[in-house]
Structure 1
Amino acid sequence: MAKQTPFFSSISRLYPHVRPIMPRLVLGLVSALMASLVALAIPQVLRVLINDWLQPGGSSQAVWIASAVILVLGIAEAGLVALRRQFVINPATTVETRMRVSLYDHLQDLAVSFHDRWGSGQLLSRAMTDLNFLRRWMAFGAIMLVVTTLTVVIGVVVMFAMSWQLALIFLAAAVPIMIYGFRFRTRFSKVARRSQDQAGDLATTVEESVHGIRVLKAFGRSREALENFNEQAEELRQTEIVKARHLAAFSLVVTLLPELALGAGLVVGIMLAAGGQLSIGSLVAFFATAAVIAAPVEFCGMLLAMALTAKTAVDRHFEVMDAVNTITSPDEPRRPAELRGALGFHNATFAFEDAPEKPVLKDICLDIRPGETMALVGITGSGKSALLQLVPRLFEVTAGSVTIDGVDLREFSVEELRTIVSVAFEDTTLFSSSVRDNVLLGVQGQESPERREEILAEALDTAQAHFAYSLPEGLDTLIGEEGLSLSGGQRQRIALARAVAAKPKVLVLVLDDPLSALDVNTEELVEARLRVVLADTTTLIVAHRPSTVALADRVALLEDGRIAAVGTHTELLAENSHYRYVIASLDPEPRDLDSELSALEAEEVSR
C-alpha cells in the first residue's frame, strides 16, 4: 500500500502545471459563483413579492414584474454556467496534454531498471486514465467544490438573516455530516487508491495477453488466461462496489439529515409565522433558499469523492515523475580527440539494484581492438547480455569502468554515446510503423532523403532482409504492433538492419545474438556482408551457435560472471575444457522455414 499523504500536500503539486491557466480557472470560478449567487437571489425576489406586492388590493402588474425578474435571473444563471465551461475546458485539456507529454518524456529518460520494475499497464493507466480524470476534476470538480462550499456558506448566512431559529435547526444537521465526512475521506482515499492500482494491473494483464496471444493459443492456455483475467476483473469489481457503498452511505447522510432538518424547520416555521414572529414571505424565501442549497449539499458527496480520487491520481502521477534517472550525462561531457572504437572493460562489476550483494558481473577486464569482432560465449546465466547492456549504458557499472578510446562512458553525454553505439537484441522489438521507419530509426535527421534511401537499401541488403520489398506495400508496409505480423527470422533481420543503418555514426556495434532465428546459410550471408559493411566497426556479439563463434576474430569466455579466457576459437578449443563444454552445449543450427519456403517458391518459378 502506497504511503498516504495529506490532501492539500498532494494537490499543491499541480500548481506549477496549473499556474499558466490560473487566470482562466479563476474566471471560471467567478462565473460559477455568480451563477450560484443568482440562484440564491431568486428566493429573495419571491420574499419581496409575497410580503410587499401580494397584498389585498395589490396590482397584478407586480406579479408580471417579479416573473420577468425571475426569468432574467434564470437566463443569467444559465449564461454564467455556459461561460464557466468556456473559460475552463480548453486550458484544462492543455494542462492534461502537457502533463501527458511530460510523463512520456520522463519515461523515455528513465533507466531500464525502472521499466523492469513497473508493469506497462500501470504506466499506461497513469498516462491515460489518471490524467484524463485530473483534467475533468480541474475543469469541473475543483471549481464546483469551491463554489458549492461558498454557496452553502452564503446560503446559511442568508437563512440566518431571515430566521436564526430555523437556520440553527438546519445548521444542526451539519455537525454529524462533518463527523461522518472525516471518516468517509479516510476510507474512500484508501479504496480509491486500491481501485486505480488494480485497474493498472488489469491493463497490464490485457497488454501481456494481447502480445502473447500466439503463445496462449499454441499451448492451449486461453482458458487459464481467461480465468486469471476473470479473477482480477472480479477483484476490481468488488473494490468498485466497496467504493460505491462508501459513497452511497455518505450520500444518504448528506441527503437525509438536511431533509429531516427542513421537515423540523417547516413545523417550527409555521409556528413562528402563526405567532407573528416570521412573515409569510420570509418563510417561503427561507425554504426556497434551503431548496437552492440542498442540491449542492447533496452534490458534495460526489464532489468530495472526485477530489479524493484526483488526489490519488496526483499521487500516482508523481510516483513516476519523482523516479530519479540514475543514468545521466555529466555537466561537462568529454569525448576522445579521435573516435576509433577501442572498447575496454576495466574491473567492471555490475549488480541489479534489488540484489546488490549478488553481482552478475565481477571484475570484468576485456579489451576489444578497433574494428575487431569479439564473440561472448558462456552457459545460460553467465552474464553475457548484462555485459553487452553496459556498453550503451542501459545498465550502469556498480564498480570499475567501461571505456571507448580510453574515455569512461560516464563522461560521454548519453545522447552522443547512443549515437556511437548501436544495438541489436535477440528479442527483437519493432514498432507499429512501416519497415522503412523501423530500419531508419537510428539514422540522424539531417541526412538527405537520397542518402537515407541509400542507407536503407544497404542495411536491408546486409541483413538479408530482401523479403521487405515483396511485402504488400513494399517498404511502406505497416508491420503491426511489435512486428508480430512477421516471422521471428524476419523480425530479427529488420532489427539487424536497423542496427546496421546507424553505421554513419556507429563505431561500436553490440549484437545480443541477433541471428539466432536464422538458418546457417542466411547467417553466413549476413556475416559476410557485415564484414564488408562494418569493416571499421568494433563489434561485440553474444554467440549461442558454433557458426557465429567461428566467424569472430576472438572469443571471450564468461564463467560465473567473470572472464575465464580470451583467445581465438581454435586456441580456446585446444586449451580450455570449459570452453569445449560450452561449445558442445550451444544451440543446434535452426531451420529458417521462411527462407526455405522462399527458396522452394523460387525453384518452382524457375521450373
Structure 2
Amino acid sequence: MLKTLLKSVRQYKKETLLSPLCVVVEVFIEMYIPYIMGLLIDNGINKGDMDYVRKMGLFTILMALISLVLGASASYFSAHAAAGFTANLRHDMFYHIQDFSFENIDKFSSASLVTRLTTDTNNIQQAYQMSIRMAVRAPFMMIISLFMAVSISWRLTLIFLVAVPILAFAMILIIKNARPYFPRIFRAYDELNRKVRENIRGIREVKTYVHEEEQIENFKKSTSKIYKLFRRAMFIMAFNGPVMTMMIDAVMLALSWFGAKLIVGHQLATGQLVSMFSYTMSILMSLMILSMIFTQLMMAQSSGRRVADVLTAKPTIVNPAKSPLTSVTNGEVVFDHVDFKYNKEDAHYALKDIDLRIKSGETLGIIGETGSSKSTLISMIPRLYDVTGGAVRVGGHNVRSYDLKTLRDNVAVVLQKNVLFTGTIKDNLKWGNEKASDEEIVWAAKIAQADGFIREMPDGYDTMVEQGGNNVSGGQKQRITIARALLKKPKILILDDSTSAVDTKTEREIREALKRDLPETTKIIISQRIVSIKDADRIVVMNHGKIEDVGTHDELIKRNDLYSSIAKFQEENSK
C-alpha cells in the first residue's frame, strides 16, 4: 500500500526530506536549551556570576530563535509536501479512473470513488503531513530527552521504566479496540455520498412525488450511522487523554519526591532537577504526540488501502498489446456465439449464445421485454464490456483487435439516460468532434431535428446548458445527444431507447433523415415502441438474454407470439 501511495510524491521529494531534516536539528537545539538552563542556574544564579548569566542567557535566546526558524520552516515544508502529494494522488486516481471499464466502475461504485477522491485523500494528507514532521519530532525528542536525563541522573530516569510500559500497553489496547471502526466509517461515508448524489440528481422526482420527508429521513439514518460509529471510535480514543494526564501527574510527583531526596543528599543540584523536569515533560509530551499520530494513522490506514485499491486496480478492458487496428473499414457487426455475464463467479448469463450478423449500412431494430439484455447486447460492440465467451467482430475484425479510441470513435452510442455537461449547446455537441465546424454542427443538429428549437433559444447554439441539462426538456436533450453522436460520423450508430421522450412525428423525421443522409452507416435502434422499429430492415426479438427471433415487422407479426402481443398491446393503447 505505502509503495503504491508514495509513487505520487514525485516532485515534492525535496520538501518531504527538508521537513524532517529541519525537525531533527530543531529538536537537538530545543533539547539542549534545558541543559543550558540547568548550567545557568547552578553556575550563574547560585554562584552570583552575572556575566555567566548574561552570556548563557544570550546564547539561550539565540538557540531559541534558531529553533523557531527551523520549526516554522519544517511546518512550511511539511504543509507544502503534503498538499502537493495529495494533489498528485487525486490526479493519479482521476486519470486512472478514466481508463476504467464499466466493470471496474461497477465494482467500486461512483459514490465510493468520489469519497476516495475527497474524504480519503484528505485523511492521507493529514497523516502524511504529520508523518514527515510530528512523527519525526516525537521519537527524536523522546530519545534525546531520555539520553540527556540519563546523563543528569540515571537514578531518576528509572521512573520511566515503570511509566513508559504502562503508557505503551494502554496505547496498544486503545488502538486495537478503535481500529475496526474506521473501515466501517468509510463504508458509511460511501453510502451517504450515494444517497446525497441520488437525491440531488433526482430532485425533480423527489419533489414531484413529495418524497422530501422520506429523503430527509434516509439522510438522517446515514448521518446517524456515521455519528454512532465515530462516537464509539472516539469514545475509545478518548481514554488516551486521561491515561496520559494520570501518568504525567504520577511521573512528575515521583520525580519531585525522589529529586528532592537526592538534592538533600547532595547527589543532585537544583539546576539539574529543573532540567530533569523539562526533559521529563518532553518525554511524556512525545508519548502523547505519538498517541495522536497513531490515531491519525489508523484513519489514514483505512483510507490508504481504499485509495491504493483504486490505483492498483487493473482496467478490465485495455488496448491490444501488439499492433492494434487503427481504422474501421465498414459497419458490419457479427456476434459469434456470444456469452456474457456481469459477475464471473455468477452462474447466471446476461447473454447466452448470441449468433447474429448485421450488414454494413443495415438498419436493425431490437425489441424485448424489460430485462431481456437489449442494452447489454449493444454494449459489447464498442467494448464497454468484454464478452465472456464467443466473439464480437466489427468490420471483419474482433473488437479486441482495435485501438479503443478508434473503435469507439466509429461506434457512436446514444443512451436513454442522456447526460449533458455544463457549457454551451455547441460545447456539448463538440464532444462528438471537438474540431467540428459550425456547418457540421448545424448538419448534425438538422438530422437530429434539433436545429429548430436550438435557434429559438435566447443565444442559439451558444445558449448555456445548466448542470445536468435541467434547462432543456427530455426530448430536446435526447435530440442534442443524437446530434452529438452524429458529429463523430460513425460507421455504426446505436440508439438505445434514445427517442423515448420524443413525439412520434419528430421521431419519424429523425429516422427518415438518418436513412436519407447516412445510408452507409449501420443503424441499431433499441426501442420499447413497435412504431420506432417497424420500418427497420430487420428486427431482433430478445427474451431472457437470448435471441428469440429475427425478421421483418410483417414476418414477426405472423410468427412470433411475443412480438405480436407487444404490437397488439401498443396498438390498443394508442387508440
Give the AA of the match of 1:547.
V
Instruction: Report SS of the residue matched to 2:73.
Output: helix
Give the AA of the match of 2:370.
T
Give the AA of the match of 2:33.
I
**Higher deviation after alignment, 185-194 or 23-32:** 185-194
8 Å contact from structure 2 (residues 130, 293) kept in 1: no
Q: CA deviation at 1:334?
A: 4.4
Match of 2:444 in 1: 459
Match of 2:454 in 1: 468
Match of 1:183 in 2: 173
Match of 1:493 in 2: 479
Instruction: Report SS of the residue matched to 1:441.
Output: coil
Which of residues 352, 363, 366 is equivalent to 1:376? 366
| 2:39 is the counterpart of 1:48 | yes
Give the AA of the match of 2:29.
V
Q: CA deviation at 1:153?
A: 1.3
Q: How does 1:86-485 map to 2 (within 5 A)?
A: 86-335=76-325, 339-353=329-343, 356-443=346-433, 445=434, 447=435, 451-465=436-450, 466-485=452-471
Q: CA deviation at 1:520?
A: 1.1
Q: 1:501 to 1:292 in 2, by over 3 A?
A: same
Kindly, what percent of the aligned residue pairs are identical?
A: 27
Q: Distance in 2 between matches of 1:356 and 1:452?
A: 48
Q: CA deviation at 1:459?
A: 1.7
Q: How does 1:29-108 map to 2 (within 5 A)?
A: 29-56=20-47, 58-108=48-98
Instruction: Report SS of the residue matched to 1:566.
Output: strand
Q: 1:586 to 1:127 in 2, by over 3 A?
A: farther
Give the AA of the match of 1:521.
K
Q: CA deviation at 1:354?
A: 5.8
Q: Distance in 1 between matches of 2:6 and 2:572?
A: 60
8 Å contact from structure 1 (residues 519, 589) kept in 2: no
Instruction: Report SS of the residue matched to 1:17.
Output: coil
Q: How does 1:11-30 map to 2 (within 5 A)?
A: 11-18=2-9, 20-30=11-21
Could you tell me the TM-score, scaled by structure 1's length? 0.90
Q: How does 1:578-589 map to 2 (within 5 A)?
A: 578-586=562-570
Q: Distance in 1 between matches of 2:225 and 2:35?
A: 52
Deviations 1:257-314, CA, capped at 9 Å, x for gaps: 1331121111100010010011111111111222334433322222111122221111
**Higher deviation after alignment, 333-342 or 270-279:** 333-342
8 Å contact from structure 1 (residues 370, 538) kept in 2: yes
Instruction: Report SS of the residue matched to 2:514.
Output: helix
Q: CA deviation at 1:355?
A: 6.0
8 Å contact from structure 1 (residues 96, 135) kept in 2: yes
Report the number of matched residues: 574
Q: CA deviation at 1:169?
A: 0.6
8 Å contact from structure 2 (residues 380, 392) kept in 1: yes
Instruction: Report SS of the residue matched to 1:551.
Output: coil
Q: Distance in 2 between matches of 1:588 and 1:185?
A: 68
Q: 1:383 to 1:588 in 2, by over 3 A?
A: farther
8 Å contact from structure 1 (residues 346, 401) kept in 2: yes
8 Å contact from structure 1 (residues 254, 301) kept in 2: no
Give the AA of the match of 1:539.
K
Match of 1:548 in 2: 532
Deviations 1:146-168, CA, capped at 9 Å, x for gaps: 22011111111111111112111
8 Å contact from structure 1 (residues 170, 262) kept in 2: no
Deviations 1:129-184, CA, capped at 9 Å, x for gaps: 21122223222344311220111111111111111121111342110111122222
| 2:501 is the counterpart of 1:517 | yes
Q: 1:19 to 1:254 in 2, by over 3 A?
A: farther
Instruction: Report SS of the residue matched to 1:173.
Output: helix
Q: Distance in 1 between matches of 2:147 and 2:18?
A: 24
Deviations 1:388-416, CA, capped at 9 Å, x for gaps: 11111111111111111221111112221
Q: CA deviation at 1:336?
A: 8.8
Match of 1:572 in 2: 556
Q: Distance in 1 between matches of 2:244 and 2:432?
A: 60
Q: 1:535 to 1:324 in 2, by over 3 A?
A: same
Q: Distance in 1 between matches of 2:64 and 2:572?
A: 82
Give the AA of the match of 1:381.
G
Match of 1:508 in 2: 492
Instruction: Report SS of the residue matched to 2:430.
Output: helix
Instruction: Report SS of the residue matched to 1:95.
Output: helix
Instruction: Report SS of the residue matched to 2:421.
Output: coil
Consecutive unaligned residues in structure 2, runs of 5 or more? none
Q: CA deviation at 1:210?
A: 0.5
Q: CA deviation at 1:321?
A: 2.2
Q: CA deviation at 1:28?
A: 0.7
Give the AA of the match of 2:471.
S
Q: 1:255 to 1:121 in 2, by over 3 A?
A: farther
Q: CA deviation at 1:519?
A: 0.6
Give the AA of the match of 1:210.
I
Q: Distance in 2 between matches of 1:371 and 1:524?
A: 19
Q: CA deviation at 1:12?
A: 4.0
Consecutive unaligned residues in structure 1, runs of 5 or more? 1-9, 591-607
Q: CA deviation at 1:584?
A: 2.7
8 Å contact from structure 1 (residues 327, 393) kept in 2: yes
What RMSD, in angstroms, separates the aligned Cα atoms of the two structures? Answer: 2.2
8 Å contact from structure 2 (residues 4, 311) kept in 1: no
Q: Distance in 1 between matches of 2:487 and 2:380?
A: 22
Q: CA deviation at 1:374?
A: 0.4
Deviations 1:61-89, CA, capped at 9 Å, x for gaps: 33333332222222111100111133333
